[in-house]
């Protein structure tokens, strides 16, 4: 039985197609023991949290067993907010966030995506959490990783020297962490 991975893409016109190469990189690095699900999120050009939250809930309800959650950019921050607010019954084997905006940081003040101050305490107990961000990200400032690292001191933080916002279209580090985490299951 394959292990499930749900990948949520970022936002913007064409984001689903742009992030498809990231999803493909992850799929290839994981191999046949994993089934990667890559849904197209509603209206990526003008995203609304509620619509994305409902789509994630639908995707999770359709999957059986534990699922590794992977998000890129806005998709990462929406997954994090979803887990904080919804606390789904679906077992989550880990949360893997790449190039994640920290909503509320200067020039990133969008209340719709902002997490409550108590968000670290509202995450599922024992949830393995991994953060990946490139120092040369031209879209989401690298400093956002530091904000998350400060709020989530138990998270595994992977600062990547080069790769930009698309992480050099290489999610092999994410695949490696998923494999290590789910090796027994």
Compute the distance between CA of residue 74 and CA of residue 15 in angstroms, rounded to an integer: 10
Nearest to 41 by CA among 67, 6, 90: 6
Q: Note if the pTM is more than 0.85.
A: yes
> What confidence tens digit (pLDDT) does each residue in 69-115 have?
999 999 999 999 999 998 777 789 999 999 999 999 999 999 999 99
Q: Please report the beta strands in 99-155, taking only residues with DSSP state E, as ranges in sequence order.
A: 129-134
Helix, strand and coil content of the chain, in percent to the nearest 5, comes to 40, 20, 45
Query: Helices 15-30 and 172-182: crossing angle, nearest 10°?
Result: 50
How many other β-carbons are positioned within 10 Å of the β-carbon of residue 120?
A: 17
* Domain ranges, ordered by start, for the chain: 30-59+72-164+172-182
Q: Which CATH class is domain 30-59+72-164+172-182?
A: alpha beta
């Amino acid at each position: 039985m394959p292990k499930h991975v749900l990948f949520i893409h970022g936002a913007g016109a064409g984001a689903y197609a742009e992030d498809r190469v990231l999803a493909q990189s992850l799929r290839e690095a994981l191999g046949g023991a994993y089934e990667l699900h890559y849904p197209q999120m509603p209206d990526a050009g003008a995203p609304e949290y509620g619509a994305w939250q409902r789509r994630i809930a639908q995707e999770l309800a359709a999957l059986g067993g534990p699922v590794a959650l992977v998000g890129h950019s806005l998709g990462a921050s929406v997954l994090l907010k979803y887990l904080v607010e919804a606390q789904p019954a679906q077992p989550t084997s880990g949360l893997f966030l790449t190039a994640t905006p920290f909503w509320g940081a200067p020039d990133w003040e969008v209340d719709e995506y902002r997490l409550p101050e108590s968000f670290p305490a509202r995450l599922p107990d024992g949830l393995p959490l991994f953060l990946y961000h490139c120092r040369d990200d031209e879209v989401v400032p690298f400093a956002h990783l530091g904000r998350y690292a400060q709020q989530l001191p138990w998270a595994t933080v992977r600062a990547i020297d080069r790769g930009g916002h698309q992480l050099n279209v290489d999610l092999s580090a994410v695949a490696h962490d998923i494999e290590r985490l789910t090796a027994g299951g």
